[in-house]
Amino acid sequence: MGSLSSSFGRSPIVNFAIAALTIKCIDAIDLGVAIVPAAVGVIETLGFPAILAAADAMVKAGEVTLVYYGIAEKGEFLVAVRGKVAEVNRSVEAGIAAAEEVFGAQVIAHYIIPNPTENIETVLPIQYTQKVEQFRTF
């Protein structure tokens, strides 16, 4: 084995990463916290009634937390939810269906990110804030 290999044939950097992840998992288990990435789902609509209907349907259809509501421009609104991937998928489908039922409304866009990176979570307004923490599903 080369000088950069450990006893298992892995580099010291890989072993360090494995050790760090193991410590994080043990800490999470000690705290009773599940290490499951929180997906994010976003719907953008034309008109406030449509986003209201979408948001209501989203939180009722799946175990998700509404983490963001905002005004885009030209009468466009958006809403974001977080939760487990399957729950976010179900939630976004229900939100789209509800928004499309609103007279005169239009779904402009929708998107789901199964596992956003820390950089995305830091920059975009999709974090679990203190304001929404009481509604957090996991």
Q: What is the pLDDT along the chain (138 residues), one digit of tens a residue?
A: 444 444 455 555 544 444 444 444 444 444 555 556 789 999 999 999 999 999 999 999 999 999 999 988 788 999 999 999 999 999 999 999 999 999 999 999 999 999 888 888 778 887 777 887 777 777
- Whether the CA torsion 94, 99, 103, 104 is positive or negative: it is negative
Task: Please state, in angstroms and rounded to a whole number, the distance separating the CA atoms of residues 109 and 131.
Answer: 26
Place of tokens 């830091």: 122
Best CATH choice for the domain 39-135 from the list 2.130.10.10, 1.20.120.160, 3.10.580.10, 3.30.70.1710:
3.30.70.1710
Instruction: Indicate the domain borders of the chain.
Output: 1-35, 39-135
Place of tokens 């953008």: 44
Identity at 56, one-letter amino acid code: D
pTM score of the predicted model: 0.71
DSSP 12-30: HHHHHHHHHHHHHHHHHHH
Q: Are 108 and 76 in contact (CB under 8 A)?
A: yes
